[in-house]
Structure 1
Amino acid sequence: MLSVLSVEVRKLNRSLALLLALAAPGLIALFVFFNLLRQKAPQPWDMWMVNANAMWAIFMLPMTVTAMTALVAHMEHGPRAWDQLRALPRARSSLYGAKALCVLGLVGLMSVLVMGMTWGAVTAGVQIKPELAPTGVFAAGKYAGQLAAMFAAGLLMIAIQFWTAMRFASFVPALALGIGGTFFAVVAASAKQGVFMPWQMPVNMLATESWRVQTALGLGGGLGLLVLILAVAHLARREVL
């Protein structure tokens, strides 16, 4: 498994996956930077960091997962390399498991970058306008905890997108699913039933009602891990269409 994972990491280094991993949190940081420069009075750290986390959860995370899973799958679908890979003398599940771990690792990396780049954007903006230095305490543990919870709650969404992207040789089904899921998550952000929608589960980590947080985290994390395991098992047994 480690050797397969090592190969997948090297493939990512030659793809656009790492660029995507930098671009998504970078866009949030860029928005925060210019938004800070428009302010007339200093704002609390919470306003900048929690808003950045919300932007990540409601839109950038679902769209990035859609693009990331499609990109990782296309590395094999594009050159029609699955036949050669699946003929290797090793468990097929290790091939798909390694790809799943790479996707999860990239999403985790982006979560860390969201916090780091947002802090950097605010700090850079303050260098230009010192009078806008954020008030209050920079609660790093709180912001990191929110992002970690969003990652866990997003496991179900990641598993569904991964399963679809790997199952079909065409990238259209995975992109259509991800775009549609993100659209309904955004337009129905305040819907009570949204807590049961995989694409909306991460943003529920910012909800004020504890039941929403616990429900989204339990379903997104627990069910997501189960679905991911089932996806790997299913893909290992079937041919790619």
Structure 2
Amino acid sequence: MLAVLSVEICKLNRSLALLLAGAAPALIAIFAFAMMMRSQRPSEWSMWIGSGTAIWAYFMMPMCVTALTALVAHMEHAPRSWDHLRALSVPRWTLYASKAVCVIGLVLIMSAAMLAMTIGAVVLGGLIKPETAAAGRLDLAGHAWTLAKVAAAAILMIAIQFWTAIRFASFVPGLVLGIGGAFFAVVATSAKQGVFMPWQMPVNILATEAWRVQTALTLGGGLGLVVLAAAVIHLARREG
């Protein structure tokens, strides 16, 4: 498994995945910096980091997961290399499990990068415009823990997107699913039924109602791992 995983990491290093991993968090940081430049008075650290986390969980993460899963799948679909990979003397499930681990790992890296870049943007904004410098204490551990829970709640969404992207040779089904899921998650934000939508579970971690947070962690994280395992087993048993 470790050998297969190292190969997948090398493949990602030669792809556009790292560009995406840097660009998406940077956009949120740029937005925070622009808002500081427009602001006329200081705001709490919790407001700046909370806003960045909300944008990440609400919109940017679902779009990034859609793009990442499509990219990871396309690396094998485009050159038609699945037959070669399945003929290797390694358990088939490791081929798919390693790709899933890479996607989840990149989501975690992007979450950390978003936090670091947003902090950097706020600090830079405060240096350029001291009257808007962030006030209060920066609870770095608390914000990091929140982002970790957001990532955990996203596992079900990642599993569904991953399963679809690998299952179909065309990238269109995965893109349609991701865009459609994000769209309905946005329009159903205030609906109680929306809490059961995989694409809405990450942002539900930020909800004030405890039951929404617990549901997101239980279904997004717990059920997500089950669905991810089912996806790996199903894909490993396929011949075509």
TM-score by length of 1: 0.98
Q: Which runs of 4+ in 1 moved over 2 A?
A: none
User: Would you say 1:172 and 2:181 are equivalent positions?
Assistant: no
- In the other structure, the counterpart of 2:71 is 71
Please state how far the C-alpha of 1:198 moved relative to its aligned partner: 0.2
CA distance in 1, matches of 2:35, 2:187: 23
CA distance in 2, matches of 1:239, 1:208: 46
Which whole-Å deviations, capped at 9, do the CAs of 1:5-37 have from their partners, x for residues lacking one?
111000000000010000111100010000110
- In the other structure, the counterpart of 1:25 is 25
Which whole-Å deviations, capped at 9, do the CAs of 1:166-217 have from their partners, x for residues lacking one?
0000000000000000111112212211110000000001110101100111
- In the other structure, the counterpart of 1:133 is 133
Which whole-Å deviations, capped at 9, do the CAs of 1:87-129 have from their partners, x for residues lacking one?
1111110100110111011001001011100000101111110
CA distance in 2, matches of 1:66, 1:116: 23
Identity of aligned residues (%): 66
- In the other structure, the counterpart of 2:239 is 239
Letter of the structure 2 residue corresponding to residue 85 of structure 1 = L
CA distance in 2, matches of 1:215, 1:13: 35
- In the other structure, the counterpart of 1:2 is 2
Letter of the structure 1 residue corresponding to residue 14 of structure 2 = R
Structure 2: any 5+ residue segments left out of the alignment? none
CA distance in 1, matches of 2:35, 2:177: 31
Which whole-Å deviations, capped at 9, do the CAs of 1:48-80 have from their partners, x for residues lacking one?
000100000000000000000000000000000
The secondary structure found in structure 1 opposite 2:48 is helix
Mapping of 1:136-147 within 5 angstroms? 136-147=136-147
Structure 1: any 5+ residue segments left out of the alignment? none
CA distance in 2, matches of 1:175, 1:199: 13
Please state how far the C-alpha of 1:227 moved relative to its aligned partner: 0.4
CA distance in 1, matches of 2:191, 2:89: 49
The secondary structure found in structure 1 opposite 2:138 is coil
- In the other structure, the counterpart of 1:206 is 206
CA distance in 2, matches of 1:76, 1:218: 32
CA distance in 2, matches of 1:55, 1:65: 14
- In the other structure, the counterpart of 1:37 is 37
- In the other structure, the counterpart of 1:222 is 222
Residues 154-163 or 122-131, more deviating: 122-131
Please state how far the C-alpha of 1:239 moved relative to its aligned partner: 3.1
